[in-house]
Amino acid sequence: METRDCCAPSIPSRDAVTSLSSELDFTATAIAPSYKVLVDGPTPSVYPPVIHQPRRDVIDNMEYATRDGVSDGQFAAVLYTKVGAIRPFSASSDSDRCSTLSSRCCTYIEVSGFCHVKMASAEASAGEPPEKKHRADVQAPGERPEAPSLELARRKGFGGKGSGIRLLANLYKVHLSNISLVEYEVTIVPKDETAKAERDLPRALNRAIFDKWRELYAQDLPGLQMCTYDGGKAAYAVGGQGADVSARDARTWLVDLPRESGKARAFDVTLAQKTELKIEELMAALQNRTGRAADFPQHTIQGLDVVMQESLAHSRSVIGRSFFNLACPPQARRSLGEGLVMYPGHYQSLRAIQADGGRLALNLDVAHAAFLEEGPLIEYVSKVVGRKLNPGDQERLTPTEFDRANKALKRVKVTTDHMRAKRGYLVLRLGEESAEDFRRVRNTSFAIKPRGEPSETDAAPVTKSVAQYFQETYNVTLQYPRLQCAVVRNNGRLPLEVCHVVPGQLCTRLNERQTGGMIRQANRKPSERVNDTDKLKYENLTVTSKDGAWNLRNTRFLKGASVTSWALINLSKEVSQQEARRFVGDLIGGCKAVGVMLDDPVSVDRGNPNDVSGTLGPWLARMGRAPLQMVVVILDPGVKPVYGELKTYCEVARGLISQCCCSQKVRERDQRKKLQYIANLALKINVKTGGQNAAFLRPHPRLKEKRTLIAGADVSHPGARDDVPSVAAVVGSLDGPTPSVYRPVISIQEPRREIIDNMESATKDLLDSFYKSIKAPPDRVLMFRDGVSEGQFGAVLNTEVEAMKRAIRTFGAEHQHPEYDPRMAFIIIQKKHHMRIFSLDAAGRPNNPEPGTVVDRDICSPYMNDFFLNSHKGLLASNGSRTGTNRPAHYFVLYDEIGYSADDIQEMANDLCYVYAKCTRSISVVPPAYYADKVATRGRMYIEAAAGSESGSSGGRDTWRDVKLPEVQDVIRNRMFYC
């Protein structure tokens, strides 16, 4: 999992200080002149012999330091080549309305924004959950966009409502010389494997192979001596004519890549010239605002991006477009516990922006990622299980420790050095047998052929334990013979003590404690500001949000639910039955205060958390035939498998609404905190059981004038496994003009496919449900689509928008209205970007922008209809301070038949962020997109619960087709059960 530092401002760390290519001339400039800059790492060949005496003619505002032990973010610099030079931004020279900024921030691009000062952020109790890293919202290098058959929406103008404000963005202007790049398609195939093209090779391995090819062959190929490579399918020759390699006459070379074991591995490397990318054509496209978005040469920017990242890709650990120095000083790292370490790094990417009539800018941001701690595997396991494993211990890992270690060891890369040469292995799982006991398992015996026997001998193998084998063969006496062994390829066994964790292994699966620690250590505190915003309507009064938040004191929900039949079951090991009954009284009283009527529960009982279905089934059967409206469940924190099994059983097997409660909150002694927690529970209980929390006091006119189906869509991906499908979710509103109920449709599809295959069927389902709900079809359909990269916009337009149009035609034909044709708008939201915007206080310190701040010029696309919306306020930490810098949502109006103005879209998106059902704060993205994300996650939870606990290695590429998606029962499909 990667999480960006939300600092103020977001400054790259000293890890950014690296030459981009020793073959290319470069200059450097400080991002923030008030910071000193440390140049470390290998000395670039173009530097003078003493690197701390830089050329003052090209570096005029940067002071060098030579001391070590600096903190992350204290030093910052950007190096660039003759392909592109980054200059400090001079605010006074670009626009009459821009005044000179403070020296601390003078390199940030200044932008114009409008603050609608309406409503905006996340859950009051715990805030927004960390976002999953299941995709990137930027186009991958070498990825060519699909040309759309429909026309992308053009920008109809700029928003003008609200008060104008000055902002800063973490973008830096790039000046390019008039050169060209020649693009080549690269194919690397191993010669020694049957399934050669079955799976892409890791990018790090690809780079090593390409570097070896360049060493062996590039010097004989004019134009390719100065080529860069993206680690995948694309290489770029910089400046000048390309080599004599054409698409019609692709050339293949044999490359032998040495390995530590001594035996080289052979690969075929094929290059085919594709096209010439001209910088002058890119600059002309940037200045031409009337051209089609589909014709913009985005692939030229991708090529320049690869060139600027070339040296970093060889000297740093690369994750997407982020770069991490694993050799950074120990004080720059942060332990996350259980064998994980957080490393600082930086992110960089070229972008096309509107400033100066259209230009390129470099987006820089601080990045953080969690890696496995390098060192002996036995120490890593000790940290995972939470106790020191001492030599000579006669104890095996307990069942709980085994499960924890088994999960942590899957897919971990290790090396061993007990043989003459170091060898690498991939751990598949932790075996159940110890090094002493392994031979007792007949079908997995540790068999060794007698020495001196030929391979075709019929002699019976000698069966020995792992401990005996290592003693006799390698003269290694195991210090932990009672510990279980690691299982590697061919069902081999390795004692944990002979293995070492390979450095640089990214960890994407963090537990709640590690995730929280990562967020706390990466965040930095901006200052605060208080502003009044618009109002929401409740049953007994209207409330005015302050800084995007409000409370429920003396407030009753607009439509309170009535729950006459419910029960509570205690699955916590910490909460006594007396405490559970006391909580029931608190819950009934707290819900009544906000207008939710809970009768006394029909049962308060205790169950077994290790057997959810076996506990709930008989328990529910004992309650008779009267159907329950809801079951409340008390759980201990950190029991994700139990939570998933519970939700799956209730929603799939029983069609029952459930509400989980944290045992720590149930036992809370601070009455004020406990009442706040119960109020948050009441928000969820009310919408799950048919109530409505609040509505707009003045709904947006464009939502009132026509019946509008508001929809959201998202896809959850499984990570690196090919045998687990991606889960697509589409939700749609059933009421208006303040939508309070969204019906979900869930489907599965090919792993890591972002385009939703089931969009036609899902849209038809939502149209039918909308019609049944309000007895009339929608006049408009407004879709908010989450998580699509810019390179996939054309595919989304061709596939998903067209699928929605087909669904509309089918719906009209079924209702004998073939002319039915509601207007549609399709808007894409990107959350996982690295753009940050800041305002300055009177002292020149950067702050979060106010909730309701919109930017639709300067830093936005010169050829697409997009805008940034900061609709929320930063959350509060436990000590009351603000935690981190906000990340604005990036909205792209991809398709618009309705004809919304810029102000219409921006105001509607901002308004919708205030009616998220689970909190009394505005959130960072519109609720339908947020709900779709939650539903997709819930669908993955169903699949995991149905399959049981994870086990073994992944299956074949097409085995995902055998996975069945459990279906939610119809009785709760029109309820917000997933909140």
Q: Does residue 590 contact residue 682 with C-beta atoms inside 8 Å?
A: yes
Please tell me the distance from the alpha carbon of residue 68 to that of residue 3, in angstroms, as a whole number.
Answer: 26
Equal CATH topology for 562-689 and 705-873+880-950: no
CA 440 to chain centre: 45
Q: What is the CATH number of domain 375-438+465-502?
A: 2.170.260.10
Please tell me the distance from the alpha carbon of residue 567 to that of residue 620, in angstroms, as a whole number.
Answer: 9
pLDDT of residue 522: 63
What phi and psi values does residue 575 have, to the nearest 5 degrees?
-95, 125
pLDDT of residue 528: 35
pLDDT of residue 957: 64
pLDDT of residue 461: 57
DSSP 497: G
HEC-encoded secondary structure of 893-909:
EEEECCCCCHHHHHHHH
Torsion on CA atoms 938, 944, 947, 951, rounded to nearest 10: 180
- Cα 334 to Cα 7, 74, 370, 544, distances in angstroms: 16, 16, 9, 41
Strands 542-546 and 265-278: unpaired
Please tell me the distance from the alpha carbon of residue 499 to that of residue 476, in angstroms, as a whole number.
Answer: 13
Q: Does residue 494 contact residue 485 with C-beta atoms inside 8 Å?
A: yes
pLDDT of residue 292: 73
Please tell me the distance from the alpha carbon of residue 395 to that of residue 393, in angstroms, as a whole number.
Answer: 6
DSSP string, 336-376: EETTEEEEEEEEEEEEEE-GGGSEEEEEEEEEEEEEEPPEE
Q: Which residue type does 907 have?
A: E
Please tell me the distance from the alpha carbon of residue 708 to that of residue 824, in angstroms, as a whole number.
Answer: 10
Given the structure tokens 């062959």, which residue do they identify?
Answer: 217
Please tell me the distance from the alpha carbon of residue 825 to that of residue 801, in angstroms, as a whole number.
Answer: 9
Please tell me the distance from the alpha carbon of residue 944 to that of residue 643, in angstroms, as a whole number.
Answer: 11
- The full set of domain ranges for the chain reads 180-315, 375-438+465-502, 562-689, 705-873+880-950
Please tell me the distance from the alpha carbon of residue 452 to that of residue 449, in angstroms, as a whole number.
Answer: 9
Query: Nearest Cα to 19, choosing from 53, 46, 38, 54?
Result: 46
Q: Does residue 112 contact residue 61 with C-beta atoms inside 8 Å?
A: no
pLDDT of residue 262: 65
Helix, strand, or coil (residue 846): strand
Spell 344-364 as b/e; 16+ CB within 10 A means b: bbbbbbbbbbbbbebbbbbbb
Query: Nearest Cα to 932, choosing from 731, 709, 725?
Result: 731
Given the structure tokens 């080289």, which residue do they identify?
Answer: 264
Please tell me the distance from the alpha carbon of residue 890 to that of residue 187, in angstroms, as a whole number.
Answer: 34
- Cα 652 to Cα 576, 624, 649, 766, distances in angstroms: 29, 20, 6, 20
Q: Does residue 85 contact residue 95 with C-beta atoms inside 8 Å?
A: no
What phi and psi values does residue 146 have, to the nearest 5 degrees?
-85, 130
Please tell me the distance from the alpha carbon of residue 886 to that of residue 849, in angstroms, as a whole number.
Answer: 8
Torsion on CA atoms 762, 763, 765, 771, rounded to nearest 10: 160
Q: Which two tokens stand for residue 695?
A: 């509505």
pLDDT of residue 170: 87
pLDDT of residue 685: 97
**Strand arrangement of the beta sheet that strand 499-501 belongs to:** 375-376, 499-501, 413-416, 423-426
Phi-psi map region of 844: left, alpha, beta (phi>0 left; psi -120 to 50 alpha): left
Query: Nearest Cα to 230, choosing from 296, 139, 164?
Result: 139
- pTM of the full structure: 0.78
Please tell us whether the domain made up of 705-873+880-950 is placed in CATH 3.40.50.970: no
What is the mean pLDDT, run by run of 10 residues, along the chain of 979 residues?
35 29 24 24 24 24 26 28 28 26 33 48 30 41 60 86 82 80 91 60 90 88 81 84 56 87 84 88 81 80 89 85 86 86 90 88 88 92 90 81 90 87 88 79 41 47 80 89 90 91 85 71 46 72 87 93 95 94 96 96 91 86 79 88 91 95 94 94 96 92 93 90 89 92 96 94 97 95 94 93 96 92 96 87 80 91 92 63 76 95 94 93 95 96 77 59 91 94
Beta bridge pairs of residue 661: 634
Please tell me the distance from the alpha carbon of residue 115 to that of residue 849, in angstroms, as a whole number.
Answer: 9
Q: Does residue 736 contact residue 711 with C-beta atoms inside 8 Å?
A: no
Please tell me the distance from the alpha carbon of residue 326 to that of residue 264, in angstroms, as a whole number.
Answer: 27
Helix, strand, or coil (residue 142): coil
| Residue 505 burial class via C-beta count within 10 angstroms: exposed 0-12, middle 13-18, buried 19 and up | middle
Q: Does residue 509 contact residue 339 with C-beta atoms inside 8 Å?
A: no
Query: Nearest Cα to 290, choosing from 149, 151, 155?
Result: 155
**Angle CA(711)–CA(715)–CA(720) in degrees, nearest 5?**
175
- Cα 568 to Cα 632, 862, 918, distances in angstroms: 5, 56, 21
Please tell me the distance from the alpha carbon of residue 186 to that of residue 744, in angstroms, as a whole number.
Answer: 42
CA 789 to chain centre: 12
Please tell me the distance from the alpha carbon of residue 890 to that of residue 832, in angstroms, as a whole number.
Answer: 9
Would you say how long the chain is, in residues?
979
CATH class of 562-689: alpha beta
Q: Which two tokens stand for residue 146?
A: 């699909």
